[in-house]
Structure 1
Amino acid sequence: MQSSIHRIVVLALDGVYPFELGIAHRVFGELPDRYEVVTCTPDGRPVRSSSDFGVAPDHGPDALERADSVVIPPFDLRLLDDGLPAATATALARIRPGARLVSLCTGGFLLGAAGLLDGRPATTHWALADTFRRMFPRVTVDPDVLFIDDGDVLTSAGAVSGVDLCLHIVRRDHGSELANSIARRCVIPPWREGGQAQYIEQPVPAAGASGTAATREWALAHLDRPLTLADLAAHAGMSSRTFARRFTEEAGVSPGRWVVQQRVHQARRLLESTDLSVERIAHDVGFGSAISLRQHLNALIGVAPLAYRRTFRTTA
């Protein structure tokens, strides 16, 4: 836990994306007794945004010298066409050793260009993951996750996953209660399950083509059953191998993983909206035992069923 004010500096570059530029202020700004958030540019001058307005910050690069965390929103990647701009490199050099580095979406390209991700795991928007790999071969890129916490360097995927990451930082710094409180005030989920695969654009099956959508709908109505791969494939009228391939192409995750996610979703809804025992909920959603439900809930959202219920149970 941190007791003093944590100073967060948002570094805005030319072509900065307005939504992501405001994420740190929106999330950390909810806790003015814990965080101070300021915005700067590499040379203190205004920068244009990706929209039809400019950004004129109150701070120059000297703000980076006093930063406990530096947040880098996405920007116009053409800035890196000829390598890291000199003014930006000089600004980054002002960051004190030990400061936490946080990139939102393609802001990670700046950290990559500066060599700050070499030898580390990182993520970015799935659509640019291959480009990221080509540009920064020393970085281990995971395009599926919403964010990666590698201690003093944290990276997130596209747009809203920047909110996920900032909430994670609050949770890491000050616990789940404060993070959940901020999430509720912002009317967003405190934790999103799954990774980027569920958001990757998938080709829509042509009318009349066989797919797995009907089987997914059937499975949701029968979560209390075992639902093995063979069961799902039989319902779809496919071989297990063909079904698994098509399912993953359409849903972005394997059948087994998807079933677990749906069972956890349903368990969370029941924990929030009913007084059913954990054992009964586990049975109704197909986990079979409270121990199994506890293991899966912990694996996906990091809390036990009763702790989750205490946090999110709606009271009359």
Structure 2
Amino acid sequence: MLTRRALALAPLAAAMPARAGEPRLVVAGGGIAEILCALGARAQIAGVDSTVLFPTALRRLPQIGYLRSLSAEGVLSLRPDLLVAAHEAGPPEVLDQLERAGVRMVRVGRIHDPVSLVAAIRMVAAALDRSAEGERLAAALTADFAALARFAADPPQRPRVVFVLAIGGGAPQAAGRETAADAMLGLAGAENVVADYRGYRPVSAESLLAASPEAVVTTSHTVAALGGVEGIAAIPALAVLPAVRRRRIVALDSLYLLGFGPRTAHAARDLAAALHEAGRVPALPHRAWLDDVA
């Protein structure tokens, strides 16, 4: 049920018009927001969820909650013409409530590889009547991924890597098959040593030693939360690994590495450069959507 507060806020939100003739957007999903910005629709975005972190100026917009636990009140108070939501957005009852309230919605499918990313770009571009911009963006990304694929298909070596997230005080969580992390390792020409399960699961020192990774990949958020690289090295399940003792630890920004937005090809290229001899990894053209402009 809609609260009186949501109904009271609606006229105030309606007083903040989008650009003339263009739909007013609310976005749920960091990668989706980056797609909208790369399509030239940034000025139309009126509100975002808490996973929208880039460009950083979007963080100052009104918030609608966390991606998986959105606030119906927050969305409705902004009076969007269109809610553009990632596959993971929810909960379902909130999305159902928004649809019953008349909110037009675009639900983007799961993005897990270059093909699904390009499909998502075309879908979002069509919904915004920006198909020409969508084709230009899709063509640029297709070219970038193709250049990276030529390297990943026959790298000088294929390093064995484990991707971990340290959650709470227990064992670190390692990425298995069908995760964004697993996909990024493949794009970077590396082998994920965790292949016997899907998703993330806690891993022990014994299982990691048996897998014998040559490097550990994680997010900069995880490293910061643990007080730096030394904090990673202090985790018992990781401290025993020769790769950790040699400080073969690669950390990249979470959204950049796992967001599967327009920056994904460059993120995979940066990961490849960190895991291989950097000089052997092809450079990619600079793209406007890489810039964090105000």
TM-score by length of 1: 0.25
Structure with max Cα Rg: 1
TM-score by length of 2: 0.27
Q: For CA contacts below 8 A with separation 6 or more, give which structure has more relative contact order.
A: 2
